[in-house]
Chain A
Amino acid sequence: MNAIGLSTFIRREIERFLRTYIQSILSPWVSAILYIVVFGFIVGSRISLIDGVKYIDFVLPGIVMLNLITASFSQTSFSLYFQRFARHIEEVLIAPFSFFEMIFGYVVGGVARGLVVGIGVYVIALFFTTATIVHFGLFLFYAVSVSIIFSLLGLLVGLWADNFEQLSILNTFIIMPLTFLGGVFNSVKMLPAKAQFFVRLNPFFYFVDGLRYSMIGIQEANQWIGFIIIFGLIFGFGGLVWYLFKIGWRLRT
């Protein structure tokens, strides 16, 4: 194993998003403050308690998850795409890295950005809400595992995209809608029965619900189905990314 190489690779990925901290870190934090103010105080003050908690406390885990997903996805998709675009991916391709090490390096970068942004949102929220973390181990599990899923998905998009527009397609048309419809701003019980059925088919519902359970102890989804979805997606996306790196799809000519 190329341990020094891998640690350098990871450091570079982290330094890359720290270099652009206004866009990569401050911007989602500012958005999160706006969400908290609007949904927590302006809208939330007119909504009664949900399962005994204030609306802002109910919504906060969804806001954390939304930012975590977007940050980890953006990190890997943009990093890989830009390296391909500017051709300095060649620095990595000619170095003594295995496919696994390359993927691991990108994913750790994605998880790191996801955690910095996601946990940062939580820390900011502490100034506005009373939300705590009830199950810290589960909080960490959901934060890291969902970041891994979206870092891997980001790599797939980073490989596939041929231009900057394509890079944002998945985020705009799939990730954001599914996250918003996955119970970020509402309890599934608020929906009609038919809509509840469709929400339960949405994997994002299990991510949001799992994180919500770890933070405020309220659970609406079957946790075990959530675990199966999470591990299924990690292994599914991981296997696909590994295969595409192995054959050099859009990496090696």
Chain B
Amino acid sequence: MYALDISHFTKRYGKEIAVDDISFSVKPGEFFGFLGPNGAGKTTTINCITGISTVSQGTIKVFDIDVTRNYRDARKRIGLSAQEFNVDIWATTYKILWYVAGYFGMPKKQRNARIEEMLHIFELTEYRNKSFRELSGGLKRRVMLARAMIHNPDLFILDEPTAGVDIELRHELWHYLKLLNKQGKTIILTSHYLEEVEQLCNRIAFISKGKIVAIGDKSEFMSNGQTLEQKYLEITKKKI
């Protein structure tokens, strides 16, 4: 059983093909990097895994559950931190977490305890009653991550989770993500910070123009003294 199993997945927007017949899988417990230039198809793929977009062709399974046919069970297993701030900006930090935990069926007592835990982990306790629009960029990103994790999913999909986050918090997040991964959570990460991917991921897939152009263990991409950045540019056909 894979944490994520994508088979011959295609996504079309009208006549335009955004993702073209890709297949790959992620094992439970893996920290998986999903890399590619802007517009390559990363977010489109993530949107189809989570239910924000519809699948045009092929299948996507999360822990053997088809995300289209059995979407309810599949979604309970996934936590998403989206690239953009897709949050009700008038709601407070506490309420954002409270609503989303409820959406995922968490009873009130358990919900309140979990929210306190998330506020503590992401150092958001003092901002609990601040509306989202009042928070700084870094704090907003923390709220996005706390929201993704609020229902304690088995598969975290983090789409550029550290964009706009200061170095201190980035390192704290890395620490927390490593801890989660050690606890057995599967994490899929997209990031333009390649040192972040180097630090965290075990396996990496590169997507370019809607196709998977390379996939393998991190060590395979970093052999012969090459950095991940050099390999990335080589794979995506760009010159240093």
Q: Which residues of A does B touch, CB under 8 Å?
A: 2-5, 7-9, 11-12, 19, 83, 86-88, 90-98, 248, 252-253
User: Can you list 30 A-B contacts (CB < 8 A)?
Assistant: A2-B72, A4-B106, A5-B103, A5-B105, A8-B102, A8-B103, A9-B102, A19-B90, A83-B88, A87-B84, A88-B88, A91-B87, A91-B99, A93-B50, A93-B52, A94-B51, A94-B75, A94-B78, A94-B80, A95-B100, A95-B104, A96-B71, A96-B72, A96-B73, A97-B72, A97-B103, A98-B72, A252-B54, A253-B13, A253-B52
Q: Which residues of A contact B99 (CB under 8 A)?
A: 8, 12, 91
A2-B105, A5-B104, A9-B103 are known contacts. Are A253 and B53 too (CB-CB below 8 A)? yes
Once the chains bind, are B107 and A4 in contact (CB under 8 Å)? yes
Identify which of B50, B53, B89 contacts A86 (C-beta below 8 A): B89
Chain B interfacial residues counted at CB < 8 A: 31
Identify which of B52, B87, B89 contacts A94 (C-beta below 8 A): B52
**B 49-86 binary contact with A (CB < 8 Å = 1; else 0):** 01111100000000000000001110110101010101
Q: Decide yes or no whether B47 CB sits under 8 A from chain A.
A: yes
Chain A residue at minimal CB-CB distance from B107: A4
Q: Which residues of B does A touch, CB under 8 Å?
A: 13, 47, 50-54, 71-73, 75-76, 78, 80, 82, 84, 86-90, 98-100, 102-107, 147
Shortest beta-carbon distance, B118 to chain A, in Å? 15
Once the chains bind, are B102 and A7 in contact (CB under 8 Å)? yes
Q: Which residues of A contact B76 (CB under 8 A)?
A: 96
Residue in B47, B52, B76, B89 with the greatest tally of chain A CB atoms within 10 Å: B52
Q: Which residues of A contact B47 (CB under 8 A)?
A: 253
Once the chains bind, are B13 and A5 in contact (CB under 8 Å)? no
Chain A residue at minimal CB-CB distance from B87: A88
